[in-house]
Amino acid sequence: MNVVIIGCGVVGATIAYELSLVKKFQITVIDRQPPAQASTGAALGVLMGVISHKVKGQAWRRRHTSIQRYETLIPELEGITGRKIPFNRQGIVSLLGEEENLVGWENLAAVRHSQGWKLELWDTAQVKDFCPQIAIANITGAVYSPQDRQLNPTTLTLALAEAAQHNGVSCKFGVNVLGISPDNNSITVETTEGKITADWVVVSAGLGSTPLTAQLNQMVDIRPVLGQALQVRLERPLGNPDFQPVVTGNDVHIVPVGGGNYWVGATVEFPSDGDQIPPSPELFQKVWHQAIAFCPDLATAEIIRTWSGLRPRPEGRPAPVIEQLPGFSNVLLATAHYRNGVLLAPATAAAIREMIS
């Protein structure tokens, strides 16, 4: 059975790897760029699963599936590829402000406990004890999620693509899809390297999914949302060098990436005119100043680099889009994950594998 996956960001690469474990599939991955170039390459890789307020239904099941799968997936990929995938197992500390609903967090902690997961509510004394880098004047406490994770999305995606190829997947990078057309019970994918006949096509191309689906007269409307982030370096790690969780608050993430280096981000910037989004210096400064307010020692950090990326957000419907393309039983959509592509990649791959199987 021939499967063509269009797009090799973290979602497409995870689908390719998970399908490669099923021997009956012959899989081809096509991307006009090398892997992990678009939104994946700009992501911070913070996996907010247990700490999310989703407690039931598909939204929680996908998070649950993904958080569980990452625990086995990372060592699996490292074993196949020999690549070390940076994977922070020290959890997430979410800082609480005056306006936070403490009862809501207590209820969530009770639900998670009943589901077999942990959430801890910390007062300011505990925050100061565990994370002395945090200025408690600006917060009322924190929620600690020890089972949530953070990883490097680019390293992960490269390892997924390499492991998929190791399992027999054909990867065509730097190849454009020129057209998709139904052909009896199969689909013909025309590329700059010729035609491929597929039993199944999986569209996992982020913002590129819109023009691809338009070729089949079923345009899925996906719009860009810009995010800006920065990497900084300090002479020594913030707080306790042996306890380096992700710190988040007011939608700003401070992400330890080793050796006194931190990623800080990200802005959320919507297009004002068409699909063009010039990065806003004001929003960028707002994120940076909020990070410094939480961790004042960041004010002395050296800014190593800044970057931005576009997240794919579906218009007029919830993210992500994981379904059959209307009118086509063998064209599947696995796209428009907005801000949760890395988090939901394993669950998306499981859903696609189930649809095809």
> 89 to each of 74, 127, 167, how far by Cα in Å?
11, 19, 28
274: in domain: no
Is the pLDDT reported for residue 274 higher than 80? no
Written as one letter, the residue type at 157 is T
Is the pLDDT reported for residue 83 higher than 90? yes
Give the pLDDT confidence score for residue 93 in this predicted structure: 98
**Cα dihedral 141, 147, 148, 151 sign:** positive
The percent of residues in the chain predicted with pLDDT above 70, rounded, is: 100
210: in domain: yes
Give the pLDDT confidence score for residue 288 in this predicted structure: 98
Report the alpha-carbon distance of residue 87 to residue 74 in Å, rounded.
8
Give the pLDDT confidence score for residue 276 in this predicted structure: 82
Q: pLDDT by residue (tens digit) across 208-225?
A: 999 999 999 998 999 999
**Domain housing 65:** 1-88+150-221+315-357
Computed over every residue of the chain, the mean pLDDT equals 96
281: in domain: no
Is the pLDDT reported for residue 91 higher than 90? yes
Report the alpha-carbon distance of residue 167 to residue 156 in Å, rounded.
16
Is the pLDDT reported for residue 273 higher than 90? no
112: in domain: no
Tell me what the mean pLDDT of segment 31-54 comes to: 95
269: in domain: no
Sort strands 120-122 and 141-145 into parallel, antiparallel or unpaired. Answer: antiparallel
The percent of residues in the chain predicted with pLDDT above 90, rounded, is: 95
Give the pLDDT confidence score for residue 218 in this predicted structure: 93
Number of domains in the chain: 1
Give the pLDDT confidence score for residue 184 in this predicted structure: 83
261: in domain: no
DSSP helix/strand/coil, 57? helix
Is the pLDDT reported for residue 99 higher than 90? no
Is the pLDDT reported for residue 148 higher than 80? yes
355: in domain: yes
Give the pLDDT confidence score for residue 272 in this predicted structure: 82
308: in domain: no
Q: pLDDT by residue (tens digit) across 10-19?
A: 999 999 999 9
Give the pLDDT confidence score for residue 296 in this predicted structure: 98
* pLDDT tier at 343, thresholds 50, 70, 90: very high
Question: Could you write out the DSSP letters of every residue in 166-180?
Answer: HTT-EEEET--EEEE
Tell me what the mean pLDDT of segment 307-321 comes to: 96
The 8-class DSSP code of residue 278 comes to P
Give the pLDDT confidence score for residue 183 in this predicted structure: 84
CATH at 355: 3.50.50.60
Question: What CA dihedral angle connects 230, 236, 242 and 245, to 10 degrees?
Answer: -20
